[in-house]
Amino acid sequence: MRGLRHRLTWWGEPCESPIVLLHGFLDAGATWQFLVDCLPDSWSFVAPDLRGCGGTERAPGGYWFPDYLADLEALLDALVPNAPARLMGHSMGGNIASLYAGVRPDRVAWLVNLEGFGLPRTEPDQAAARFAEWLDQLRQGPRVSRYDSVERFAAVLRTRNPRLTLERSLFIAHAWTRPVENGVELAADPLHRLVNPVLYRREEAESCWRRIKAPSLLLIGELSELRERLGADGTEEALRAAFPGARLRTVPGVGHMMHHEDPQAVAERIVEFVAEQGNPR
């Protein structure tokens, strides 16, 4: 797809319009498994590994956000050519899905966004330092993360997020790594870790979000640090203004990785939302 071989993970019976799941930064499509297990068996899903993540090929020229929108459009043209698509996205995947829903408002039937609410605002006078940081990182080369074993990496994941169960941490650790000599390394391209030299312009993202026509559900983790990082832009009032007409629901007792921590609670809110659209499949 667009010059790169993409790995897709499928669940359910084949249909003309599978629900498209977009994972977050450095994640992989397979880790939607926990949420899929809690959603109705009659639903069909497809989750791509985004470029340079999981089992999808790496982009030799690096990673630029507009490419994710073009990749999504190519995927929808191939898999959902004859109907508006149903999209779910987490974090970076939620940002991709939400931007696309604003750029192509007639191409999306409904949208579920798990904390894909953009990044903190930037100021023009940050540009010089950002370019310098990027140049320094290019000179040094990207950092490769290696671990002695999948089990060791799973333990690291549980240290970072104590709400993960042992079973889920092992599943995620397998999905996020590939074997190398004397252990495993992250499957995601280390070039993803380079700072983006182009400053994030939240005003542009919000202008796209306000063009969304599709019914939308925004899910917020009660314990997530994202809203604090966003400051005033992370309040419910600001999110309602940025996503007019969207439904906001808070999932109690979970952080940013809500679909890994309590997929049942996330699924209940999604099922309720989808039923309201009169399109349960």
State pLDDT tens for residues 243-252.
999 999 999 9
Beta carbons within 10 angstroms of residue 106's beta carbon: 9
| Mean pLDDT computed over 160-175 | 97
Mean of pLDDT over the chain? 95
Distances, alpha carbon 42 to alpha carbons 1, 11, 19, 54, in Å: 28, 10, 12, 27
The per-residue pLDDT for range 267-280, each reduced to its tens digit, is 999 999 999 987 54
The pLDDT of 129-139, averaged and rounded, is 96
Count Cβ atoms within 10 A of the Cβ of residue 137 and give its class: 0-12 exposed, 13-18 middle, 19 or more buried. Answer: middle
- CATH 3.40.50.1820 domain position(s) in the chain: 1-120+201-281
Reference 21, options 87, 80, 120; nearest CA is 87
Whether residue 1 is predicted with pLDDT greater than 80 in this model: the reply is no
Q: 21 Cβ partners below 8 Å, 6+ apart?
A: 29, 32, 36, 45, 46, 47, 88, 89, 93
pLDDT digits 0-9 by tens, 179-237? 998 999 999 999 999 999 999 999 999 999 999 999 999 999 999 999 899 999 999 99
Instruction: Name the pTM for this structure.
Output: 0.95
* pLDDT (mean) for 48-56: 96
Which CATH number is correct for 1-120+201-281, 3.40.190.290, 3.40.50.1010, 3.20.20.70, 3.40.50.1820? 3.40.50.1820
Residue 65 has pLDDT above 80, yes or no: yes
User: Would you state the pLDDT for residue 15?
Assistant: 84
Split at pLDDT 50, 70, 90, the class of 82 is confident
Mean pLDDT of 142-147: 90
